[in-house]
Structure 1
Amino acid sequence: MLLFPVAQVLKMLSLTDSPLLIAKTFEAIKISTSSRGTVVCAAKGPRPRYPRVWKTNRKVGTISKAAKLVKSVKELSNVKEEVYGALDSYIAWELEFPLITVKKALRTLEYEQEWKRVIQVTKWMLSKGQGKTMGSYFMLLNALAEDDRLDEAEELWTKLLMRYMESLPRRFFDKMISIYRKSGMHEKMFEVFADMEELNVRPSYPVVLIIGDVFKQLGMLDKYEKLHTKYPPPKWEYKYVKGKRVRVRSQVQRNRVNTYGKREVVEPNSDLNENNSYEETLEVIDDVRDVNVLSLEPEQISEDLYDSMEPVLDV
């Protein structure tokens, strides 16, 4: 039997911690056992999380960057080189092109109706090969029209029509018809409408009302009748109620009530003269017009244009 020296046994006992000492140590530290404020470590168990000593108030998100870009651009002159140089210096230290920031800045400029700045920033963005989307092209087209730069708007429209002939959205056609209507260019407006029918793009009802009103002003009542026969007012429309898309009966259809209190239902292939006279139909359409129609002077348009549109508008 081996006998340990008394001094060695006392030394070993002094190195080991007694349970009473461990309990007092944990009670003094008071470690939080809640899972929300602790992080579990691999070797040492839970560790308390303390609030940070400092916190920055500087925002470096895309919203603040876009606001800074708008402020810097609005302070410049209209010289193209100066604007492009400022925009190039703005993205000089960016690893990638800040497309989201530029798009937000464009939306802000469009809301503030800074059309010259919208044109400059959009053209600069497109020259960099960025943001080549239908939304950017439509914003540029709208800005050119609002800035009375009709030649550039027509040039952009021609390029888009030749490049994206079968996939061009309907709102581009509607926008060009509106531009030509405000400018009094009836022939080009009819050409755009003829392109819509040739490409099987169904026009919206406000556009049908605009084209029909021009036909009526020019005395083309037969084409006015054919137009509204081929494109009757819609029976349903979609509205957003509390964030949900809901289908409701169109206001135009609710207003089309005859003298006996019965609703009129216009079929796409029905003749407008079967139930009502032509004059009553003109009065009903004039009463339910929901677009602002500009007063234009009747123009003498060549009969060759109407002859070329006759097969297009024929039902």
Structure 2
Amino acid sequence: MNLKCYSSLHKAIVNWQMSGLPNEKEAVYGALDRWIAWETEFPLIAAAKALRILRKRNQWKRVIQVAKWMLSKGQGATMGTYDTLLLAFDMDGRVDEAESLWNMILHTHYRSISKRLFSRMISLYDHHNVPDKIIEAFADMEELGVKPDEDTIRRVARAFQVIGQEDKQRPVLSKYLSKWKYIHYKGERIRVRRDAWDD
């Protein structure tokens, strides 16, 4: 493995904004291919590191381009890459592309989809006001036995309310929300029963 190439690929991806590279898929993929042309192995570490930096810089279009390029090469097909790509689709308003990727993940990895990925997709649907899709994703989550976190449950409950199915809201909340929650009272953290406090 050529560490120098990893470093140069990583720098090239992170700094290509200033290199005047156009946004067209062919130009981007061509440049990325040239940067790794002499490598015997795909520089996955460098590409993953570049993705992390682009994500921190909120360069969502670049994140999408690099992640799609990696996947087109048969590289980086991990839950972490999928999570980053779904987030980038969300931030760039590309709900249809996110949904296509999500359907592929569901059909290919349905036995091993993490809570984090389900939460990411439900969050995306919530940000873009698609309550019926939130309910669908939640149904898949339940079917696969993945336990949702509190934030996800609140989004699901709100989606039931938006589509006029309030009768399904309470059972979901009581099934998944903990009976206890912590509040801060007079500078101390106190555990209280959720229902007693909420009522």
The correspondence for 2:120, drawn from 161, 171, 175, is 175
- Any conservation in 1 of the 2:182–2:191 contact (CA below 8 Å)? yes
Residues 97, 205 of structure 1: alpha-carbon distance in 2 compared, 3 angstrom cutoff: same
Residue 153 of structure 1: how far off its partner (Å): 0.6
Q: Deviations over 1:98-154 (max 9, x none)?
A: 111111111111111111111111111111111121111221111112111111110
- C-alpha distance 230-62 of structure 1, shift in aligned 2 (>3 A): same
Q: Equivalent residue for 1:79?
A: 24
Q: Distance in 2 between matches of 1:234 and 1:83?
A: 51
- The alpha-carbon distance between structure 1 residues 256 and 197, as it changes in their structure 2 partners (threshold 3 A), is farther
1:119 corresponds to:
64
Q: Residues 234, 207 of structure 1: CA spacing in aligned structure 2 closer, same or farther, 3 A cutoff?
A: farther
Please state if 1:67 is matched with 2:35.
Answer: no
Instruction: Measure how far apart 1:63 and its partner are.
Output: 4.6
Contact 1:91–1:97, Cα closer than 8 Å, also in 2 = yes
Are positions 1:201 and 2:172 aligned together? no
What letter corresponds to residue 11 of structure 2 in structure 1?
A
Return closer, same or farther for 1:89/1:231 CA change in 2, 3 Å cut-off.
same
Structure-2 separation of matches of 1:135 and 1:121: 14
The 8 Å contact of residues 63 and 104 in structure 1, kept in 2 or not, is answered as no
Contact 2:134 2:159 in 1 (8 A): no
What residue number does 2:98 align with?
A: 153
Deviation at 1:228, TM superposition (A): 2.1
Question: Would you say 1:137 and 2:82 are equivalent positions?
Answer: yes
Query: For structure 1, which runs of at least 5 residues remain unmatched after alignment?
Result: 1-58, 236-252, 267-271, 284-315
Q: Residue 136 of structure 2: SS of its match in structure 1?
A: helix
CA distance in 2, matches of 1:197, 1:84: 38
Find the aligned partners of 1:219 and 1:122 in 2 and give their Cα distance: 38
DSSP 3-state at the match of 1:195: helix
Q: Over the residues paired in the alignment, what is the CA RMSD in angstroms?
A: 2.7
Verify: 1:233 aligned to 2:189, yes or no: no
Instruction: Check conservation: 2:183, 2:192, Cα contact below 8 A.
Output: no
Aligned partner of 1:255 in structure 2 is 183
2:155 maps to 210
Could you list the runs of 5+ residues in structure 2 that have no partner in the other structure?
none
1:46 match = none
Deviation of residue 195 (structure 1)?
A: 1.3
Q: Provide Cα deviations, 1:137-177, integer angstroms capped at 9, x if missing partner.
A: 22111111211111111011011101111211111111111
Alignment-mate amino acid for residue 69 of structure 1: I
For the pair shown, the structure with the greater C-alpha radius of gyration is 1
CA contact (8 A) 1:66 1:105 kept: yes
- 1:208-243 CA-to-partner distances (Å, cap 9, x unmatched) read 1222234455664443321222112275xxxxxxxx
* Identical positions, percent: 43
User: Partners of 1:159 and 1:113 in 2: how far apart?
Assistant: 25
Alignment check: 8 A CA contact 2:9 2:35 kept: no
Distance 1:113 1:198, change over 3 A: same
1:43-69 deviation per Cα after TM superposition (whole angstroms, max 9, x unaligned):
xxxxxxxxxxxxxxxx94845651233
Q: Pick from 182, 192, 210 the counterpart of residue 137 of structure 2.
A: 192
Matching of residues 38-117 of structure 1 within 5 Å: 60=4, 62-63=6-7, 65-72=9-16, 74-75=18-19, 76-117=21-62
- TM-score normalised to the size of structure 2? 0.83
Q: What is the one-letter code of the residue matched to 1:70? A: V
**Which range is displaced more, 143-152 or 67-76?**
67-76
Deviation at 1:205, TM superposition (A): 0.8
- Kindly state the Cα deviation for residue 204 of structure 1 after the two structures are TM-superposed: 0.4
**Paired residue total:** 192
